[in-house]
Amino acid sequence: MALFFDSQWFDARLAAMGVDRAAIAAALGLNTEQVAEVWKDQRELSANDVRMLAMLLAVPPEEIASRAGVSTPVPKTAPSQDLAEVNERLTRVERALAEIKALVLDLRARTP
């Protein structure tokens, strides 16, 4: 983990992706002066900033956080993982409801 913001790595990654700091500013909802502060390690990134930079630079959020300085938060999960987890839970709930419904119908059929 970098102690300070690794501006050389970020600049190299931006160049490799064909992205400039103005695009980063737009994506993060910052102005170019605020992005310059990030590059000089004078402004902290939020977990959402880390997630957005990871998408723009095509690297895992953990890579962004590790190169952005020691106090940079790592997002807990990516939004797509959150959605996948919700869908999985919903599927389990629907199955459980179907089983309960079958049991109730079976009980009704047995009761005189």
**Positions in the chain short of pLDDT 50:** none
CA distances from 61 to 1, 21, 53, 75, 79 (A): 13, 18, 8, 7, 12
Helices (H) and strands (E) in the chain, counts: 6, 0
The tens digit of pLDDT for each residue in 21-53 reads 999 999 999 999 999 999 999 999 999 999 999
